[in-house]
Structures are given as structure tokens and as C-alpha cells.
């Protein structure tokens, strides 16, 4: 069931990404919010991204589960903090930020409760897709973020990184470097 939800989410996400430039162009005339590390929202976004990248390094085996759970709890804290801060955002942005922040926190809870390796990877991928959408919506300018999509065998995977070429994080034996399909930079 989770795999079906993941496929539906991935399809709808990529449909939104392909339509986003026109929508973002019209929205950016009215809303121009840029974050840096000197404000609380910027710190929350940077914390979410750092936590995600730190957890991603633990795949495919998730060797240090205690460290992964500590990082996941920190990510939930950053997501909850951002959700509270969203009340000060303009109306169209507020609802999206709040929904995505809550979604990230909920998906991390699912990630921590999951025991099946495929389920863990899937929950983590859904967390990453929501994080990418959140960073895109708020026009995060802390660092360039790349979106990866790979089909290895019959398994689809999505993940984020801050480098343009990266190894598939969920395979025990990566097949080489993957190239990003999309990137975010608002500097």
C-alpha cells in the first residue's frame, strides 16, 4: 500500500514541478520570501535539510539506528518549529508551509516506526519529496538542492542532495553516479 501511495505522490509531484514555473512566476510577483541562517525560519529550513542529508548518509543499511533516531527527532523539532512560524507568513504561503511541515513531521514519525527496510526507504523518500516541495515554495536560498530520480531494476527512488552527481543511497551496491533531474537555487 505504501508503495502505491509513493507512486501516486511521485506522479503528482512531478506533474506539479513541470507546471510550477508559470504558477511560481505569478506568485513571486506578490510573495518574495527569502531565508538565511540569521532568522528562525531559515534556521528551521537549514536544520531540516541538514538532518535529511545526515540520515541519507546512513543508508542503505542504517547502521547506527540510535543516531538516525536522534537526527529524526531533531528534524521533527525543526518541522514543528517551522509550522508554528508559518502563522507569520502571507496567507497563500502559510497554508502550504504548515501542511508540508506537518507532513514532514508525520512522515518522519512513520520512518522511525517502520521496521521493513523497503518501508524505511519509502518513508524517507516521501520525507525528501515533501522537503523539496517546502524548499521550493519558500524559495530557500541557503544552498543549491538537487532532486534525483532513479529506476534501478523495478524499484523507483527519489532523494535530495547538495551535489549534482550522487550515488543511489538505497542500493547496497550502487551502480555509479546518478545525475540530478532538477535543482533549486534562489540566490
| 135-144 per-position pLDDT tens digit | 988 888 777 8
> Does the pLDDT of residue 25 top 50, yes or no?
no
Q: Which pLDDT score, from 0 to 100, does residue 4 have?
A: 45
> Does the pLDDT of residue 128 top 80, yes or no?
yes
Strand partners, 157: 150
Indicate the fold that domain 2-143 takes in CATH: 1.20.120
Three-class SS state of 91: helix
Q: Which pLDDT score, from 0 to 100, does residue 63 have?
A: 63
> Beta strand pairing status for 145-152 and 155-161?
antiparallel
Three-class SS state of 176: coil
Strand partners, 160: 147
Average pLDDT over residues 3-32: 44
Residue among 148, 149, 135 at smallest CA distance from 184: 135
Q: Which pLDDT score, from 0 to 100, does residue 132 have?
A: 93
Residue 163 CA to residue 84 CA, distance in Å, equals 30
> For residues 64, 69, 74 and 75, what is the CA-based torsion angle, rounded to 10 degrees?
100
> Does the pLDDT of residue 119 top 90, yes or no?
no
pTM of the model: 0.78
Which of 34-38, 113-117, 133-137 has the largest mean confidence? 133-137
Which of 19-33, 104-118, 151-165 has the largest mean confidence? 104-118
Q: What is the pLDDT of residues 65-75, one digit of tens each?
A: 788 889 999 99
- Residue 114 half-sphere exposure, CB side, CA atoms within 13 Å? 19
The answer to whether residues 56 and 124 touch, using CB atoms and an 8 Å cutoff, is: yes
Which has the higher per-residue pLDDT, 153 or 162? 162
Q: Which pLDDT score, from 0 to 100, does residue 23 have?
A: 38
Q: State the chain's maximal CA–CA distance in angstroms.
A: 47
Average pLDDT of every residue of the chain: 77
Amino acid at each position: 500500500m505504501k508503495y502505491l501511495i509513493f507512486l501516486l505522490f511521485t506522479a503528482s509531484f512531478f506533474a506539479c514541478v513541470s507546471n510550477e514555473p508559470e504558477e511560481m512566476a505569478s506568485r513571486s510577483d506578490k510573495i518574495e520570501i527569502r531565508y538565511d541562517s540569521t532568522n528562525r525560519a531559515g534556521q528551521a529550513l537549514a536544520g531540516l535539510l541538514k538532518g535529511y542529508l545526515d540520515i541519507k548518509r546512513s543508508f542503505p543499511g542504517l547502521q547506527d539506528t540510535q543516531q538516525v533516531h536522534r537526527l529524526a527527532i531533531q528534524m521533527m523539532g525543526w518541522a514543528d518549529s517551522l509550522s508554528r512560524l508559518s502563522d507569520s507568513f502571507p496567507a497563500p504561503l502559510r497554508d502550504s508551509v504548515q501542511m508540508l511541515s506537518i507532513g514532514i513531521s508525520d512522515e518522519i514519525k512513520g520512518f522511525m516506526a517502520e521496521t521493513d527496510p523497503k518501508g524505511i526507504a519509502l518513508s524517507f523518500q516521501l520525507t525528501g519529496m515533501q522537503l523539496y516541495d517546502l524548499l521550493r515554495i519558500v524559495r530557500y536560498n541557503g544552498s543549491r538542492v538537487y532532486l534525483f530520480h532513479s529506476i534501478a531494476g523495478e524499484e523507483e527512488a527519489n532523494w535530495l542532495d547538495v551535489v549534482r552527481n550522487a550515488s543511489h543511497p538505497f542500493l547496497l551496491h550502487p551502480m555509479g553516479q546518478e545525475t540530478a533531474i532538477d535543482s533549486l537555487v534562489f540566490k
